[in-house]
Amino acid sequence: MNTKTIALPAAEVEPLHQEAWTEVIVPRSRLLDLRLGELWRYRDLVLMLVRRDFVANYKQTILGPLWFLVQPILTVLTFVLIFGRVAGLSTDGMPKVLFYLAGVTLWNYFAETLNKTATVFRDNSPIFGKVYFPRLTMPVSIVISNLVRLAIQYGLFLVFWAWYLWCTSSIHPNACILLTPLLILNMGLLALGLGMIISALTTRYRDLVFLLTFGIQLLMYATPVIYPFSSIASHYKWLLQLNPMTAVVETFRYAYLGSGTFSLAALTYSMAISIGTVLLGTIVFNKVEKSFTDTV
């Protein structure tokens, strides 16, 4: 076969070797690197994952998103019957339904976010092994998707709260209601940080997955969800104050019901713990994501 070689000027050959890359993947040089700019560029993927989580959870169910309302109502009725009626636990003179609903609304968001974030490597390992995208999009999308659930349950709480506010004089809301976005941010950061730490550990220690649900249940009893902080003996209160969720729940109840304990120092401590947990979780997450496909 005859071949012909054509010599091209250097000026025409050089552009052939220069390609305009749309994405350059380089190894992380720092463990504490959130890559927020990269995360922002993948915001469409985050929104798609949020929609996937919302649709997949309640697809082929009869009630669909109404489960967001049914679940807290059934939980509150159970708490009223068992802890309010049978056990006779105090609610600081607040209506039992509102008291328990306030705690359940916050706790559901925190627990659900922590549960799903803690298994993000295991649940999404097939996707992680096939295509590149910022791994942080997965836990962030979980935090955001659960905000939809929180918004619905918070709306349910506001309906009951408005009714009691109109019909009774047993609740006394105050200006601390303005702290609600800060409380939600606090919970989201804490759940995200703890979830990233646990998800990194579960790549090697699968036992943590089985202990997670049990641990979250224990943590609920160490948080004033079913009882007021004021009912705890003084020599045990410091143990509950170590739990950053204690200040969140107590501040929320104080803001909307006028009952509870509000402490700026406790709230600052809680936010500091949440931020520190996110930073630590980012370090662990970034370190593990480089090699987790070999162990999952």
Question: What are the tens digits of pLDDT across the range 113-141?
Answer: 998 888 777 776 667 666 666 777 888 88
The token pair at 296 is 């999952």
Rounded to 5 degrees, what are φ and ψ at 131?
-145, 150
- Where is 255: in which H helix or E strand? helix 244-257
Q: Is residue 147 part of a domain?
A: yes
Contact 196, 274 (CB under 8 A): no
User: What's 42's DSSP letter?
Assistant: T
* Angstrom distance (rounded) from CA 109 to CA 189: 12
C-beta atoms surrounding 121 within 10 Å: 25
**Within the chain, which residues score under 50 in pLDDT?**
1, 3, 5, 7-8, 10, 13-14, 16-17, 29
Q: Is 162 within 8 Å of 256 (Cβ atoms)?
A: no
Residue spans of alpha helices (H) in 89-236: 96-117, 120-123, 125-128, 137-167, 180-202, 207-221
| Rounded Cα distance, 136 and 196, in Å | 9
CA atoms 69, 81, 176, 271: torsion sign: negative
Burial category of 262 from C-beta neighbours within 10 Å (exposed 0-12, middle 13-18, buried 19 and up): middle
| Domain that residue 229 falls in | 37-294
In angstroms, the Cα distances linking 49 to 57, 120, 139, 206 are 12, 12, 10, 25
Amino acid at residue number 34: L
15 lies in a domain? no
Q: Is 84 within the bounds of a domain? A: yes
User: What are the helix and strand counts (H, E) for the chain?
Assistant: 13, 0
| Predicted pLDDT of residue 122 | 72
Residue 124, in any domain of the structure: yes
In a domain, 17, yes or no: no
What does the pLDDT read at residue 249? 94
Predicted pLDDT of residue 16:
45
Q: What is the DSSP letter of 18?
A: -
In degrees, rounded to 5, the angle at the alpha carbon of residue 264 between the alpha carbons of residues 258 and 265 is: 135
Q: In the chain, what are the helix, strand and coil shares in percent, each to the nearest 5? A: 70, 0, 30
Considering the domain boundaries, does residue 11 fall inside one? no
The answer as to whether 95 is a domain residue is yes
In a domain, 223, yes or no: yes
248 membership: H or E segment, kind and range: helix 244-257
Element (H, E) at 44: helix 43-58
Q: Select from 164, 198, 195 the least CA-distant residue to 93.
A: 164
Provide the number of structural domains found in the chain. 1
Residue recorded with tokens 């000026």: 11
